[in-house]
Chain A
Amino acid sequence: MAQKLSKIDRIIAKYQADKSALIQMLLEIQRENRWLPPKALERLSQRLGIPTNQIYHIATFYKAFSLIPQGRHAVSVCLGTACHVRGAPRLLDRVTDALCIGPGETSTDMKFTLSTVNCLGCCALGPVMVVDGEYHGNPSGKEIKRVIAMCD
């Protein structure tokens, strides 16, 4: 833990412990850990002199933050308008079936987290599924299974 804390201190130092950079610091912590560990938030609160409830207010307000650990593989399905009219709800159902977890959930073996996003800016591919940064346009049931099977 001591090591982790020093990492957080480094992030705080990078922003000169400036309170107004709180969201930026949280984004970096989220990126490094793929979630916001409570210990890290307590440390932030101490160092910046911001009450923890305010930090949690922010952490729960924005979609980018997660208060629970995320799976090793990030699967997301675009629910933007363009993808919606091209059948995103059906795609989401299929991905949900294939992963056995619903949107916002993480599998118990910590392998996958399924999330939904609003427009990835590649509407021409729609409906879009993204697995670990790889885009898949309108994947068939078979393709979904293949892509998921390739994750280890």
Chain B
Amino acid sequence: MAQFKSPADLARTRQRIISRRARKRFIAINASGTCGLAYGSDQVFQAFVAEIERQGLTEQVGVRATGCLGFCENSPIAIIFPEEISYFRVKPSDVPEIVSKTLAGKKLVNRLLYKDGNGKKIVREGEIPFYKHQSRIVFGNNRLIDPKSIDDYIALGGYSALSKALFEMSPEEVVETVKRANLRGRGGGGFPTGKKWETTRNAPGEIKFVIVNADEGDPGAYMDRSLLEGNPHSVLEGLIIGAYAIGSHEGYVYVRQEYPLAVENLFIALNQAREYGLLGKNIIGSGFNFDVAIHRGAGAFVSGESSALMTAIEGRVGEPRPKYIRTAVSGIRERPSNLNNVETWATVPLIISKGADWFTSIGTAESKGTKIFSLVGKVNNTGLVEVPMGMTLREIIYDIGGGIRQGKKFKAVQTGGPSGGCLPESLIDIPVDFDELTKVGSMMGSGGMIVMDEDDCMVDVARYFLTFLAEESCGKCIPCREGIRQMLHILIRICDGQGQTGDIELLEELSEVIQDASLCALGTTAPNPVLSTIRNFRDEYEEHVKERRCPSGVCKALISYYIQPERCQACLLCLRECPVGAITGGKNLVHVIDQDKCTKCGTCLEVCPPRFAAVLILSGEPVPAAPPQGTKVERTKGTQQ
């Protein structure tokens, strides 16, 4: 592979790749993304490769293993280009039919098409509601790229932004463009990227570092991983452009070791970029030198914080330090260091190619461009979605997400990860951008969006996040280490039915201290999940404390499972499945739960056939006395055992 010595070399190679592929159709399968693989997309991919060869179509059809395609719920996914025919939940056994009907012929395999709420079949990817309302400017290329092939990226115009920056723009102009685009960091804080670059650029010292933050510690977000896995070159191109703008010659990608496929794809990408002369000495013949090393993080949420991450790169324990001096001025080995999130870096090439004006035309007044969210939890269409800033939560959850699963009622949406908050129904018409979310006591964070329904207990959710944070606090500063732990004790107490009058106020008071006195943002934002649930769902806290009642039926100490004798059809299912043998009864005899033996595992509720729906969760009320032993069931009409 020859190294590019000039922009013309890059352009020629691109032309060559495109013309070589001109007549080829191709089929994309999400077999190079962890979510797809978990659903068995690799077997589907292998089946396509074999079948296309068997039917002699290798000349006409290319097969591509792509990264995450967003609509994880319906994996394995196969999309046929250029028509964008989309097949969902494809099994290896479906493959011969797809190849002979759709690839060799022009027929569709109807049963694999997307069906909308009214049962209407939709053929084209872009017309499916889940995709139709998105603007996938950053994430959309995943579907056109095999992440292990730099040629795929170059064919789409990849690295032309880098070439433009190096040959047509001065470093100052690059910084200025990013500033004008008003790009804000996608990693949590929303700090203006151009401003940060400028500080690092102007900081004294010859040696400077640029770093990609791919630690992605938010336990419910995976967009960074999907970008790195699915389109590593876009992140790398952004990083090289940033290095040029800042005047850095050494970079790092800090990626958590829990993401082996991301590390693998990135490693391949770095090597391919070096072979093409896009990384290393004299990049594209411009005289600019830059190279990147991968640093794997060993699993600590707090290590995603900027000063902690830089300490970890030095090989020490990744704990934060007080930031009297910003890392932009003194970071890795006390050199000026610029850290940005994966998604931030991946957005940079687009801004350079298409210009700041294009970017500022998308989004709201102070939040420009798009944001990728992981839309998960109790929503029908689970997956990664990219929308312009300013779309409302309702549009995201209902138009894209297809509403709440199993026809349940929406209760809250949690955004911003462990530093964020839970927003109730009354707030779901707010436009989603950095400032609006902060205003209502939550955060954009890295883009986790967890939808909750009537069965989720808000006190339990607060307890969940504080458990996470108590474990992840590095322990260096006392307000965070001890304060979070005390708050957690109180929350556990409330969930256990031992809440005391004044607990809620005590939580609020502790929150204030932790917010004011903690060393890093882990601590200062840690009370958010508690404060936002108290603010928006105070009744629920009060019910736990005063009435010893968990209205959602989640907190184990406050609930009992009960079989309604008049509904029980003695089908024996729960009786057999109960892991502790707490259910008595028999054929034709009403089943009864022995409350003393019951461990509240919920198995009975789960296995009770929905048409009987005999099992109830009771909270805050006594369990009715059991019918006398040997009571026969009343057969309800139309049900037969």
Contact = CB atoms under 8 A, between A and B. Distances in A.
B282 interface: no
Contacts of A49: none
B257 A27 contact: yes
Given A61-B318, A94-B601, A124-B382, A119 B219 contact: yes
A119 B218 contact: yes
A74 interface: no
A84 interface: yes
A27 B297 CA distance: 9
Contacts of B456: 85
A14 to B, nearest CB: 13
B341 interface: no
Contacts of B601: 90, 93-94
Size class of the contact patch on chain A: 35 or more
Interface string B226-268: 1000000000000000000000000000000111000000000
A24 B258 contact: no
B159 interface: no
B49 interface: no
Interface stretch (A5-13, A75-83, A106-114): A75-83
Interface in B271-308: 295-301, 303
A123 B315 contact: no
A94 B607 CA distance: 14
A32 B66 CA distance: 30
Interface string B192-226: 00000000000000000000000001111110011
B563 interface: no
A21 B300 contact: no
Main secondary structure of the interface of A (DSSP, over half): helix
Contacts of B222: 119, 121, 123
A22 interface: yes
Interface in A48-91: 54, 57-58, 61-65, 79-82, 84-87, 90
B43 to A, nearest CB: 13
Interface residues of B, number: 58
A18 B316 CA distance: 12
Contacts of A140: 606
A122 B220 contact: no
Contacts of A137: 38
Contact of B226 (A22, A24, A117, A121): A121
B536 to A, nearest CB: 16
A123 B220 contact: yes
Contact of A26 (B73, B298, B383, B603): B298
A97 interface: yes
B452 interface: yes
5 contacts: A62-B300, A85-B450, A122-B72, A123-B377, A140-B606
Interface of B: 34-35, 38-39, 72-73, 75, 217-222, 225-226, 257-259, 295-301, 303, 312-319, 374, 376-378, 382-383, 414, 417, 448, 450, 452, 456, 461, 464-465, 468, 474, 577, 579, 599, 601-603, 606
